[in-house]
Structure 1
Amino acid sequence: MVGIAETCCVVTAFESSEKHVGEQSDYSKVHKQFSCSGVILNESHGLVLCSGHLFSRFLIRKDVLSTDFQFLLRGSFSDTLTIYVQHDYTTHPSNAITCRGRTTNPEQNRLKLTHLKAEFIVLINCLEFQTAFLELFKVSDNWRFSLGEEHADLIKDSDFLSYFALLRVPGLVKSAGKDTVHWVSSCALEKGCEVFACGSPFGSVCPDLFMNTLSKGIVSNVVGKDNAVILTDSHCLPGTEGGGLFVKEGDAAFLVGLIVSPFCWKSREWVGLTLVCSFHLILQNLAQAVNHRQSLNKLSIEVPVDVNQALLHKGLCAIIQNFPMVCLVDSNQFWGSGVLLNSQLVLTCRHVLNGKSRVVVRYKTSKRLLSVMGDVLFATKVTAPFDVAIVWLQEPLPDIIVPKLASSFKPGKSVCIIGYGVFGHSCGHSVTSGILSKVVTCQSQAAMLQTTCAVQAGASGGALVQTDTGELLGLVCSNTRDFAADVTYPHLNFCIPMSVLAPLLQAFSVTHDPTIFQKLDDAGPEVARVWRLQIRPQRHQTSRL
């Protein structure tokens, strides 16, 4: 992981006063400065790539933007725009292989922050990302994207998220080796692939504490041409925009994307996912700009071309193919997820049905999206603690893997949640990772499971899966919402243990009698208290005096 941190940096921009801000000036005293993260593409030529959103406030004319706009040169921005790059030249022990293929020196394990003057070269619009983004993030869903408090007055949301700035940092050549970042095409990504995000939370604030922080996660979903839009559950904070998303192969790390937004809200619900743009598509758009502008021709030999197109970082990908399968349950006005127990039996949540006795179940195969009508065989009462429903499909679905049901639960185990949260059938199911954080018991039996996976609206009825075994641990019911503060917490969520449902499902497989599930309506007061999130009554000892 050493190499990942060495590849990233912090970019700070501001408008300088009449007094020249020199190479070694203390620009930290500038009243209004704005910052984000960046990735060093080529040390020998001093090339840095970062979020273009940072520079939107410095545009001379903001009406130059349009959906087919591809690039802007330095002349489109304020004459007084001043840019600095901070880079951490700390080296670390263990002679680890870096993103640039060299080893570190264990004798130089010291923090070395440099502040280098940078030159603006070009602002690139990744058109593939922009197209996929606009198709996925509907205006009607009231999406918002976080870019930190310091960016509150910038052009909002989708207007500038697909833009990236290429900078030249002459001083970088003197301070670093002559190496180019190694990267891989986003075409190699699959849902469940392990990834590492690297950026600097809060940008230029306290870089000695926050610069180049790592976060581990998985690819939750990919959308668009060549996976232009990447969604990951890696935890990132404001200021990490422009930082890198990496895959790891052995001791080597490969850049696969740039962070666009660390926080995303859909209709005021924080979804707990980080938005990323494909790196190789940014390079493709840069190459097109180079072909159109003679002044950029020099970049054709300076941009990184070292790419391992065949690299497919497995992560969870190899075993996720054998995980329980999920479908989308559509009750007309509402939709949620469902777990396929066999080719015709679907387990979901009562509230997903919205009171309907018949629903449409959509299942995406490798070739097409299938839609099958399903009859509701059973749904728990609204007053019941368990939120469960059973749906029988009128036609069998092909190639369904019958899940193995878990009978025991161990807090701390790696888990993932599979469901149709956030985007519905727009891009298939999403996958988020975490751990089983708590097992709540009643009378020595598991009654509720809690995880740290990101769960959003639409994931209800999805599958909670143990990562190493592929066992179905539970049925996803909800995340947590604080109505007083109007805040949703996607990483605190509740699932029904399969140990509650397994005996009933086994009996149903023999008798085909759905009334067997009526036992879920009478789970007892202790279970009801747990699912109503009520405090356990305190038992006070009576005095013997």
Structure 2
Amino acid sequence: MEADQWRFHGDEDDDLIRDADYLSWFAVLKARAPHPGAVSWRRSSSLQKGSPVVACGSPFGSLCSDLFNGTVSRGVISNLAGEHNAIILTDARCLPGTEGGGLFVMEDDRLHLVGVIVSPFGWKANEWIGLTLVCSVHSILRNVVQCADIGDPLRDVWLHPTEVFTTRKSNVGEYPIVCLVDSGHQWGSGVLVTSELVLTCRHVVNGKSTVALKFYHKDRVLDSVGNVLFSTKASSPYDVAVVRPRESILDVVVPRMAHEFNTGECVLVVGYGGLGRRCGPSLTCGVLSKAISLHRQTIMFQTTCAVQAGASGGAVVRASTGELLGIVSSNTRDLSAKVTYPHLNFCVPVSVLQGPLHRFSRLGDVTAFDALDASEEQVKRVWRLQDTQSKL
């Protein structure tokens, strides 16, 4: 955690240290009488990224419990790590006081407990990431049983979980392949648009001529080196770079490019924020909150998906079809208040990129991308907040 600059919950340094010390502590309480509405639980080993989940807790603890007790939030599983998916990240929005609450999946029109909320707030490199850390309930129960000195205190609830459990199958395999792009001092994400081309952001390649690429593809981890073919100038409003892997990536399905940008539609960001650098890309869900057009061409769009450091260059996809809408450029930072807003982010649409990509595929000439530098003043005005956006 120190290497990745993670911090959890609280505002003062002492609170942060204390919270980190107790992240792995759990208590088992016995009710005086069985509750008639006891919920069933499921193992987390079969969970998938992108699976829809429901978080339930009590924001602000005992403060106005009649108002806040049992508050529900929806989201998806953003990432999974550890043995049998012991660690779960979700973008379901939780608040302080929801620690100890449950994370549930839906099966047969019923909610089933899969995890316990550990920390609803997390910072990474001094930026709030908008994700919630959850521990698998299966891992908790297993460790309680192993540590118990006398018998099995959970035998009545432990012995008979559903052995085979699968959530609604997600479309993760249909989404564009997103790789980790590492330029040495900075790292981010990149989208494989053909077997030989990766789209990412200018600030991710950081002026380098070569970058390291890592693909998590079909249960394999592939390392490669990429040559930076093109990078927009600092004066360009479009924060874009094009990288060619030195080795072709096999079994690549060329992503379908979107032609419409519909405000309010459900979208997903696939990128290496959160735990992504070590566990493959994370997924966060939200809506396309605004699309801005010029001459009938979309030149920028915004989403409410939570994006964090490492997500720059990640894919924004239409949740229903997996179509590629664009790449993430940045989220927003209030420089005066020193506050980052992970749920307000700016994206470069494929409508801007399709023309140069098509010309390059026909002619093989990197000057096809020069059009991204020759933008109108109106385009620059739309992207005028770049200096106040937080590069990821």
Task: Give the AA of the match of 2:200.
Answer: T
Q: Does 1:260 align with 2:118?
A: yes
Q: CA deviation at 1:400?
A: 1.3
Q: CA deviation at 1:424?
A: 4.7
Q: CA deviation at 1:390?
A: 0.9
Residue of structure 2 equivalent to 1:244: 102
Work out which of the residue numbers 332, 337, 349 in structure 1 matches 2:201.
Answer: 349
SS in 2 for 1:165: coil
CA contact (8 A) 1:232 1:275 kept: yes
Q: CA deviation at 1:490?
A: 0.5
SS in 2 for 1:527: helix
Structure with max Cα Rg: 1
Structure 2: how far apart are the matches of 1:200 and 1:327?
37
The verdict on how the C-alpha distance between 1:143 and 1:186 changes in structure 2, with shifts beyond 3 A counting, is same
Structure 2: how far apart are the matches of 1:146 and 1:486?
17
Structure 2: how far apart are the matches of 1:460 and 1:272?
16
Work out which of the residue numbers 216, 220, 229 in structure 2 matches 1:364.
Answer: 216
Structure 2: how far apart are the matches of 1:529 and 1:382?
15
Q: Does 1:139 align with 2:28?
A: no
Mind listing any 5+ residue stretches in structure 2 that lack a counterpart?
387-392
Residue of structure 2 equivalent to 1:20: none
Q: Does 1:510 align with 2:373?
A: no
CA offsets per residue over residues 140-170 of structure 1, 9 Å max, x none? 3332211589x97596132111111111231
Structure 2 counterparts to residues 104-503 of structure 1, below 5 A: 138-146=1-9, 156-170=18-32, 172-173=33-34, 176-177=35-36, 180-290=38-148, 293-294=149-150, 297=151, 299-314=153-168, 317-503=169-355
Structure 2: how far apart are the matches of 1:519 and 1:391?
17
Structure 2: how far apart are the matches of 1:221 and 1:301?
30
Aligned-residue CA RMSD in angstroms?
Answer: 1.9
CA contact (8 A) 2:174 2:322 kept: yes
CA offsets per residue over residues 76-119 of structure 1, 9 Å max, x none? xxxxxxxxxxxxxxxxxxxxxxxxxxxxxxxxxxxxxxxxxxxx
Task: Give the AA of the match of 2:6.
Answer: W
Structure 1: how far apart are the matches of 2:16 and 2:259?
52
SS in 2 for 1:431: strand
CA contact (8 A) 2:9 2:15 kept: no
The verdict on how the C-alpha distance between 1:242 and 1:300 changes in structure 2, with shifts beyond 3 A counting, is closer
The verdict on how the C-alpha distance between 1:519 and 1:262 changes in structure 2, with shifts beyond 3 A counting, is same
CA contact (8 A) 2:8 2:16 kept: no
CA offsets per residue over residues 320-375 of structure 1, 9 Å max, x none? 21111101111111111100011111111111111001111111233432111111
SS in 1 for 2:171: helix
Structure 2: how far apart are the matches of 1:471 and 1:392?
22
The count of residues paired between Structure 1 and Structure 2 equals 386
SS in 2 for 1:401: coil
Structure 2: how far apart are the matches of 1:404 and 1:154?
44
Work out which of the residue numbers 512, 522, 526 in structure 1 matches 2:378.
Answer: 526
Structure 1: how far apart are the matches of 2:249 and 2:144?
45
TM-score (norm 2): 0.94
Q: Percent of pairs identical after alignment?
A: 53
CA offsets per residue over residues 485-519 of structure 1, 9 Å max, x none? 11111000000111111122111111111101101
Q: CA deviation at 1:253?
A: 1.1
Q: CA deviation at 1:479?
A: 0.7
CA contact (8 A) 1:475 1:496 kept: yes
CA contact (8 A) 1:180 1:304 kept: no
CA contact (8 A) 2:79 2:276 kept: no
Structure 1: how far apart are the matches of 2:155 and 2:258?
55
CA offsets per residue over residues 396-444 of structure 1, 9 Å max, x none? 0121111000111000000000011234531111110000000012233
CA contact (8 A) 2:78 2:284 kept: yes
Residue of structure 1 equivalent to 2:389: none
Structure 2: how far apart are the matches of 1:445 and 1:155?
49
Task: Give the AA of the match of 2:20.
Answer: S
SS in 2 for 1:318: coil
TM-score (norm 1): 0.68
CA contact (8 A) 2:54 2:74 kept: yes
CA offsets per residue over residues 21-42 of structure 1, 9 Å max, x none? xxxxxxxxxxxxxxxxxxxxxx
CA contact (8 A) 1:148 1:202 kept: no
SS in 2 for 1:351: helix
SS in 2 for 1:168: coil
Mind listing any 5+ residue stretches in structure 1 that lack a counterpart?
1-137, 535-545
Task: Give the AA of the match of 1:454.
Answer: A
- Which piece of structure 1 moves more, 367-376 or 237-246? 367-376
The verdict on how the C-alpha distance between 1:261 and 1:384 changes in structure 2, with shifts beyond 3 A counting, is same
Q: CA deviation at 1:242?
A: 0.2
CA contact (8 A) 1:460 1:477 kept: yes
Q: CA deviation at 1:303?
A: 3.5
Structure 2: how far apart are the matches of 1:210 and 1:515?
57
